[in-house]
Amino acid sequence: MAIQEVRVKTLPHLEDIKGKQLLHEIRNTLHITSITGLVTAKVYRLEGITAQQAEFLARHLLAEEVFQTYTVNEAIIKDTDKLVEVAYKPGVMNPEAGSIVKAAADLGITEMLAADSSYEYGFYGTLTDDETRLILTRLLVNETVERVVTEKPATLIIKGRPGGTRVIPIRHMDDEALLELSRDNLFLNIEEMRSIQGYFAALDRDPTDCEIETLAQTWSEHCVHKTFKATIMVDGQAKKPLYQRLRESTDRTAHPLVLSAFEDNSGVIEFYDGLALCGKVETHNSPSAIEPYGGAMTGSGGVFRDIMGTGKGAKVIASTDMFCFAPPDLPTADVPPGCLHPHYLLRRVVDGVRDYGNRMGIPTNNGSVHFHRDFRAKPTIIVGAYGIMPAADAGKGQPVNGDLAVIVGGRTGRDGIHGATFSSGEMTHRTMDVNASAVQIGHAIEEKRMSDALLRARDEKLIRAVTDCGAGGFASAFGEMGEGTGVRVHLERAPLKYQGLAPWEIWLSESQERMALAVDPAHMERLADICREHNVEVTVIGQFTGTGKLEVLYQDELVCELDMEFLHHGIPGRTMTAVPREHTVQIIEPDMPGDWEQICTNVMQHLNVCSKEPIVRMYDHGVQGSSALPPFAGVAGDAPNDAVVIAPLLGQKYGAVIAHGLNPVLNTIDPYAGSIWAAAEAVSNAVATGANPDELVLIDNFIWPYPDETSLYDLDRAVDACVDFVKATGMPFISGKDSLSSTYRAPDGSVIKIPPVLCISCFGRIADVTQTISTDFKRSGSIIALVGQRDINQMGGSTYFDITGAASNRVPLIDPALLTVTLRSLHRAIRSDAILACHDISEGGLLVALAEMCLGGGVGAAINLPANQRADYCLFNETAGCFVVELTDRARAEELFQDVPYLILGCTTSNHNISVTQDNNSIFNIATAKLFKAWQKPMQEVFGGC
CB atoms within 10 A of CB 79: 9
Helix, strand, or coil (residue 681) = helix
Q: Which residues, 6+ apart, have CB-to-CB distance to 684 below 8 Å?
A: 642, 661, 819, 823, 840, 880, 881, 882, 883
Which positions make up the binding site for Mg(2+)? Answer: 282, 306, 468
Nearest of 581, 683, 733 to residue 242 by alpha carbon: 733
Please state the residue numbers annotated as binding site for substrate.
305, 440, 510-512, 739
The total of other beta-carbon atoms located within 10 Å of residue 900's CB is 17
Please state, in angstroms and rounded to a whole number, the distance separating the CA atoms of residues 640 and 626: 18
Q: Which of 225, 255, 284, 372 is catalytic?
A: 284
Active site residue 222: yes
Helix ranges (H only) for 396-441 are 419-422, 431-434
Widest CA span of the chain, in angstroms? 88
Burial classification of residue 922, based on how many CB atoms lie within 10 Å of its CB (0-12 exposed, 13-18 middle, 19 or more buried): exposed
8 A C-beta contact, residue 788 and residue 900: yes
Please indicate whether residue 284 is annotated as part of the active site: yes
Task: Quote the CA–CA distance of 359 and 445 in Å, as a whole number.
Answer: 6
Helices (H), 86-241: 95-106, 129-135, 175-182, 190-203, 209-218, 221-224
CA distances from 18 to 14, 15, 29, 327 (A): 12, 9, 16, 24
Query: Using CA atoms, how far apart are residues 536 and 389, in angstroms rounded to an integer?
Result: 22
Q: Which helix (H) or strand (E) holds 788?
A: none
Q: Residue 126, Cβ neighbours under 10 Å: how many?
A: 11
> Which one of 13, 31, 172, 222 is the catalytic residue?
222
Task: Output the CA–CA distances (angstroms, integers) from residue 734 to 246, 288, 443, 481, 740, in the order listed.
Answer: 9, 26, 29, 21, 20
- Residue 297 DSSP SS3: helix
Question: Whole-angstrom Cα distance, residue 581 to residue 577?
Answer: 13
Q: Is the sign of the CA dihedral 554, 557, 560, 563 positive or negative?
A: positive
Residue of 798, 908, 785, 907 whose CA lies nearest to 855? 908
| Residues noted as catalytic | 222, 284
